[in-house]
Amino acid sequence: MPAAEAMLDSNVLVYALSDAPTERRKRDRAADLLATKDFGTSYQIIMETWVVATRKMRVPVDPEKVRAFLEKILAHPLVTGTAGLFFEAQGLSARYGIHPYDAAIVAAAKELGAETLYSEDLSHGQVYDGVRVINPFQGLD
């Protein structure tokens, strides 16, 4: 089983890749998390990062830059998709009323053994089955 103290959501990874001047503070904060945290990720987060960075950003990131970045991220613990992860996510979604994709990320953080999930997509400070969500970008807008 993979192990890390924190999980970084795709929005953290996307900001780390961003060259947008308006996102400089978030990019710096994301880079700080990458440099200072014992983190892991999930297959879902890797795929979301790749799709958003190469296809959904106002100025898409060069796919080779994204690939090189994600290769470094993949050196950290990775939670893959399993039937057990699916059922855990389904239960979390029902229990907390969160979107199934978000529930899958929380379930992966639990499997990782992470106490903290850094994300701007869930409620800052909320604890989901032992995983506390921290919005690392709160107050940076």
pTM: 0.95
Sign of the Cα pseudo-torsion (6, 9, 12, 14, in order): positive
Q: Is residue 106 within 8 Å of residue 117, measured between CB atoms?
A: yes
Q: Classify residue 139: in a domain, yes or no.
A: no
Q: 114-139: per-residue pLDDT in tens?
A: 999 999 999 999 999 999 999 999 99
Confidence band, pLDDT 50/70/90 cuts, at residue 107: very high
> What's the confidence (pLDDT) of residue 108?
98
106 in a structural domain: yes
Cβ-contact 39, 2 below 8 angstroms: no
Choose among 81, 76, 87, 85: nearest CA to 8. 76
Count: domains in the chain: 1
Strand pairing category for 6-8 and 39-42: parallel
pLDDT, tens digit (0-9, with 9 covering 90-100), for 34-67: 999 999 999 999 999 999 999 998 889 999 999 9
Nearest CA among 122, 113, 124 for reference residue 5: 113
Alpha helix stretches (DSSP H) within the chain: 10-17, 24-36, 43-51, 63-73, 83-96, 100-112
Q: What is the CATH number of the domain that holds 104?
A: 3.40.50.1010
The Cα–Cα gap between 103 and 121 comes to 11
SS3 call for 32: helix
Average pLDDT over residues 18-39: 95
80 in a structural domain: yes
Domain span at residue 75 reads: 6-134
Q: Has residue 2 got a pLDDT over 90? A: no
Q: DSSP code of 56?
A: I
- 30-41 pLDDT tens trace: 999 999 999 999
